[in-house]
Structure 1
Amino acid sequence: MATRTITKPRGRPNNRFGDRRIEVLRTAARVFSDLGFRQATLEDVAREIGMTRAALYHYSQSKDALLTACGDIARQELMEAVGHARREADGRARLTAFFQRYAEIVSEDFGRCFVLTDASEMAEDERTTSRKAQLALGNAAAEMIAEGIADGSLRSCDPRVASRLLFAAFNGVARWRNPPKDVAADFLDILFDGLAPRG
């Protein structure tokens, strides 16, 4: 799946420092995802991006600060995906639009880092922020499911159970090196219609 250009964090000037900072953060997210946050070091990040550890301090003072910045970008993208999905006509269409975008985000460096970093490895503030974001996303998906049940585009079920099932499936995409282009459509086809033969 092609990697799309990441929007710079809000409030950052569009200049060479901002561009380089995004490159540093993207590299950190990739290293944390590949090695595990606990195992990864600032030296690993610096080596991957081709700079000294001292130069890396110009962009971030600690590994925890790098993780928080990476998480901020992922959370912003994910909440924007919720907003875009809300424009669809019915609950099923909203759910489809959201998880199609979710699959794209968790296939990229910042989204992979958000999904794959274990909460137990995070600093307390980042753990709390990440947990709040996960709850907000889960609630948003459950609300879309409830809306689909109400408008008849989805069958009756427990929206919270269905939301957890969807996230459990789609979070697995972050572990794939090269997810199939149509993975979201394939997942949703199975999850919407089940595995029973179609007669």
Structure 2
Amino acid sequence: MASTVDEAAAPAGRAARRRDRRKVEMIAAALQILSSSGYQGMRFEDVAERTDIAKATLYHYFPSKDALVSAALEKLTTDVMTRLGEALDAAADRSATDQLRTLVTEQLHVLTVLYPEVGKLFSFPAPWPDEHSEAIKTMRRRHDQIFRDVIDRGITAREFDCPDPSVALHCLHGILNHASIWLRPDADPDNRTRDAVVDAALRLFLRA
């Protein structure tokens, strides 16, 4: 009896993995289209074509465009926050300067390797429906708080000389988002340009 159950479970497990992979492909395509065309320019037809599936199949996974956009933003938020949190945990016993360098480096990795389309998406934001604009605001607040906690720690420890942390944080994100548009990892194999961007970003906070 156990063998029969195992045999039945194996195809079901493979089918579930296929569904998960297909959803990941759809979400990745949605993020790419959102970055290039904005919310208004994103169409189900474009996502279906880019993932090489029928539009009807796309509706089977996501009943509406907004459901797909919500899933894309949720995955993006989860992935980015998880990576930044893990990077910060690995540097927990180091100085605030080292922690900020770690966060900035990981953020550049996210923007240039994992999600190269996100820099455009958030550097040049287009109008969003209320349900998504609130989700994006929440994402930004959570994201900024990780950086702000380290910056505040550095100011308290007198590692950072930052009269207006909020302005400096906005400038930091401006540097990172725009760097992600022109910084190509394949043209920077030894990470020299990436490291130069990180050094420039940290100068917003370091004491002279």
- Identify the TM-score tier after normalising by the shorter chain: 0.7 to 0.9
| 1:106 maps to 2:125 | no
- For normalisation by structure 2, the TM-score amounts to 0.75
CA distance in 2, matches of 1:95, 1:60: 38
| 1:80 maps to 2:90 | no
Extract unaligned runs of 5+ from structure 1: 1-12, 195-199
**Kindly, what percent of the aligned residue pairs are identical?**
21
Q: What is the number of equivalent residue pairs in this alignment?
A: 182
Q: CA RMSD in A?
A: 2.6
- Runs (4+) off by over 6 Å: none
CA apart distance, 1:108: 4.9
- For normalisation by structure 1, the TM-score amounts to 0.78
- How do 1:107-126 and structure 2 match up within 5 A? 107-108=112-113, 110=115, 112-113=117-118, 116=121, 121-126=127-132
CA distance in 2, matches of 1:148, 1:81: 21
Name the structure 1 match of 2:138. 132
Deviations 1:146-177 (A, max 9, x none): 21222343334322222111111112244348
Name the structure 1 match of 2:181. 175
Specify the SS of the correspondent of 1:121: coil
Deviations 1:6-63 (A, max 9, x none): xxxxxxx961111111111111211222233211211111111112211111121222
CA distance in 2, matches of 1:85, 1:165: 22
| Residues 184, 70 of structure 1: alpha-carbon distance in 2 compared, 3 angstrom cutoff | farther
The code of the aligned residue for 2:140 comes to Q
Contact persistence 1:64–1:122 (CA under 8 A): no
CA distance in 2, matches of 1:186, 1:14: 44
The code of the aligned residue for 1:52 comes to A
Name the structure where helix makes up a greater proportion of residues: 2
- How do 1:57-96 and structure 2 match up within 5 A? 57-87=59-89, 88=91, 89-96=94-101
| 1:40 maps to 2:55 | no
| Residues 57, 177 of structure 1: alpha-carbon distance in 2 compared, 3 angstrom cutoff | farther
CA distance in 1, matches of 2:162, 2:127: 38
Name the structure 2 match of 1:55. 57
Name the structure 2 match of 1:189. 199
The code of the aligned residue for 2:201 comes to L
| 1:24 maps to 2:26 | yes
